[in-house]
Amino acid sequence: MKYFKLPDLGEGLSEAEIVEWHVKAGDTVTVDQLMVSVETAKAIVEVPSPQAGVISALFAEPGDVVHIGEPLVEYQGEQDDSGTVVGDLSLSTKHESKDDFIVGSAHHTHSQQSIKATPSVRALAKRLNVDLSHIKASGEDGRITSFDVEKAAQLNSDMGQSESLKGVRKAMAKNMAMSHAQVVPVTLHDDVDIHSWYDAEGETDQDITMRLVNAIAHACACEPNLNVWFDGEQLSLRVLEQIDLGIAVDTEQGLFVPVLRNIGKRDLSDLRQGLNALRSAVKSRKIPPQEMQGATITLSNFGTLAGKYANPVVVPPQVTIVGAGGIRQEVVAYKGQAVVHPILPLSLTFDHRAVTGGEAARFLKALMDDLKCESAD
């Protein structure tokens, strides 16, 4: 092939952002040699060369967004441009058609081909350094006018340039919009006294997270109808025996939700090691896409940063997310005495299309009962 195009990366992904080129024009490459790293809404993917040859040209720069089927590389020679097959870029299909790993605009950034503007308006935009893809058109049939461009230029001058969301943050924005459009959320709040096991000096954030993981597994066993996938179009429920817990991880790049598998069948030591491995992979941005897909329920332990209560966002097809706030010392009545105990605030958001109030309340009670215990099961 003369032109190598961005291949289909699977999982319904339509575009990727160039992160880093590992070759340059004039380089000789071999089959399966790493050429470029790209970032999708799910992970960083390393793209190998599908053939041996000499690179004639690169068609994108780091930071550029490239759509499936658009050219990445030109090889020297006049070979047939046969398309987009590359080494092994297959993503796991084990959890295909399931939820994404992110927990937040629903609108795609316009490609230059889809922007409606006359050549003179485009020339004006270029002269004023205005990105037409950031402009909301006011003209007939969605056409951008010179007034739109001049207004955008003035706004840029007064307030600074806007930046399109990319990668993880873009995916988060889309998922939040999808959740807002589809889910009927209800949130329950409560506090649990954890004095039987919590030691402010001895317990780490990870210790608290693992207690929450164990308690969620217990609550799912008591009330299985919160560990389900719900199809809002077909109005059907799929009750899931295995509990695959998405755990929200905050990073500078955005919110990642890697999945801790089968939490109901693994001991805490194994789960702790698994969570450490997932967090390390997220931090290094080398986590496989399949490790951020297929969650059946989600935990947001936001209290390790700040906050008491929240309205966590449910991302379909899941129906449940547990939020844990910051632990505080509070005066409580205990065995007829006023004492100071550590209190953990909890927030449970559920999709009321699929979950009844009674089911949610029983789940929350089971969660709290487990957290009150002296030690995890």
pLDDT tens-digit map of 143-188: 888 789 889 989 888 888 877 777 777 877 888 888 888 889 999 9
Share of the chain above pLDDT 90, in %: 43
Average pLDDT over residues 267-286: 87
- Tens of pLDDT, residue by residue over 103-123, are 322 333 344 557 888 766 787
Q: Which residue has the higher pLDDT, 374 or 55?
A: 55
Q: Are 247 and 276 in contact (CB under 8 A)?
A: no
CA distances for 77 relative to 59, 70, 290, angstroms:
17, 19, 37
Beta pairing, strands 249-251 & 254-256: antiparallel
Rounded distance between C-alpha atoms, residue 172 and residue 349, angstroms: 18
Position 280 scores a pLDDT of 86
Residue 84: half-sphere exposure toward Cβ, Cα within 13 Å: 14
Reference 244, options 273, 225, 216, 280; nearest CA is 216
For the chain, list the domains and their CATH numbers: 3-75 (2.40.50.100), 112-159 (4.10.320.10), 169-372 (3.30.559.10)
Average pLDDT over residues 226-252: 91
How confident is the prediction for the chain on average, in pLDDT?
A: 84
Beta pairing, strands 320-324 & 337-351: antiparallel
Average pLDDT over residues 220-224: 96
- Tens of pLDDT, residue by residue over 328-367, are 999 999 989 999 999 999 999 999 999 999 999 999 999 9
Reading phi first (left if > 0) and then psi (alpha if -120 to 50, else beta), residue 32 is in left
Q: Are 22 and 30 in contact (CB under 8 A)?
A: no
Split at pLDDT 50, 70, 90, the class of 35 is very high
